[in-house]
Chains A and B, each alone.
Chain A
Amino acid sequence: MNTAMMLDSHVLAKRIRLHALRMTSAGGGSHIGAILSCADILAVLYGGVINVDSKAPESPSRDRFILSKGHAGGGLYAALAERGFFPVEKLQTHYQDGSELSGHVSHKLPGIDVSTGALGHGLSIAAGMAYAGKLREARHRVYCLLSDGECDEGSTWEAALFASHHRLTNLVAIVDYNRIQGIAPVAEVLELEPFADKWISFGWAVREVDGHDHEALQRTLEAAPLAAGKPSCIIAHTTKGKGVSFMENSVLWHYRIPRGAEFDAALVELEARS
Chain B
Amino acid sequence: MRDSFVAVLTELASQHPELMLLTGDLGFGVLNSYAAGFPRQFLNAGVAEQNMSGLAAGLALEGHCVFTYSIGNFPTLRCLEQIRNDICYHGANVKIVCIGGGMSYGPVGFSHHATEDLSILRSLPGMLVLSPSDLWEAAEATRYLVTHRGPAYLRLDKSAAPVDLRFGESFRPGTIRTVREGSDVTLAATGGILEEALLAADTLSEQGIFCRVLSVHTIKPLDTETLAAAASETGGIISIEEHAVDGGLGGAIAESLMEAGVFPGFFVRMGLRNTFSSVIGSQKYLRTVYSLDAASIYRTVSAKMGFPAEVLS
Name the residue on B nearest A166 (C-beta): B43
Choose among B48, B53, B63, B81 the residue that contacts A162 (Cβ–Cβ < 8 A): B48
A158 to B82, CA, bound (A): 13
Choose among B50, B58, B82, B90 the residue that contacts A131 (Cβ–Cβ < 8 A): B58
A124 to B54, CA, bound (A): 5
Name the residue on A nearest B47 (C-beta): A158
A121 to B43, CA, bound (A): 19
Shortest CB-to-CB span from B85 to chain A, Å, is: 5
B16 on the A face (CB < 8 A): no
Find out whether the CB atom of A129 lies under 8 angstroms from the CB atom of B62.
yes
Chain B neighbourhood of A124, CB < 8 A: 50-51, 53-55, 57-58, 82, 86
Name the residue on A nearest B87 (C-beta): A125
Report how many residues on chain B are interfacial, defined by Cβ distance under 8 Å: 25
Find out whether the CB atom of B48 lies under 8 angstroms from the CB atom of A115.
no
A133 on the B face (CB < 8 A): yes
B64 on the A face (CB < 8 A): yes
Choose among B54, B56, B59, B62 the residue that contacts A155 (Cβ–Cβ < 8 A): B54
- The A-B contact count (CB < 8 A) is 86
Find out whether the CB atom of A121 lies under 8 angstroms from the CB atom of B85.
yes
Find out whether the CB atom of B55 lies under 8 angstroms from the CB atom of A127.
yes
Chain B neighbourhood of A121, CB < 8 A: 54, 81-82, 85-86
Beta-carbon contacts under 8 Å, B63-79 to A:
63-64
B61 on the A face (CB < 8 A): yes
A114 to B92, CA, bound (A): 11
Chain B neighbourhood of A123, CB < 8 A: 54
A213 on the B face (CB < 8 A): no
Name the residue on B nearest A116 (C-beta): B85
Shortest CB-to-CB span from A141 to chain B, Å, is: 14
Name the residue on B nearest A66 (C-beta): B58
Choose among A117, A135, A162 the residue that contacts B85 (Cβ–Cβ < 8 A): A117
Chain A neighbourhood of B55, CB < 8 A: 124-125, 127-128, 131, 159, 162
A252 to B307, CA, bound (A): 71
List residues of chain B with CB under 8 Å of any chain A CB.
40, 43, 45-46, 48, 50-51, 53-64, 81-82, 85-86, 89-90
25 A-B residue pairs with CB within 8 Å: A113-B61, A114-B57, A114-B61, A115-B89, A117-B85, A121-B81, A121-B82, A121-B86, A125-B54, A125-B57, A125-B58, A128-B54, A128-B62, A129-B59, A129-B61, A131-B58, A132-B59, A132-B64, A154-B50, A155-B48, A155-B50, A161-B46, A161-B51, A162-B48, A162-B55
List residues of chain A with CB under 8 Å of any chain B CB.
107, 113-118, 120-121, 123-133, 135, 154-155, 158-159, 161-162
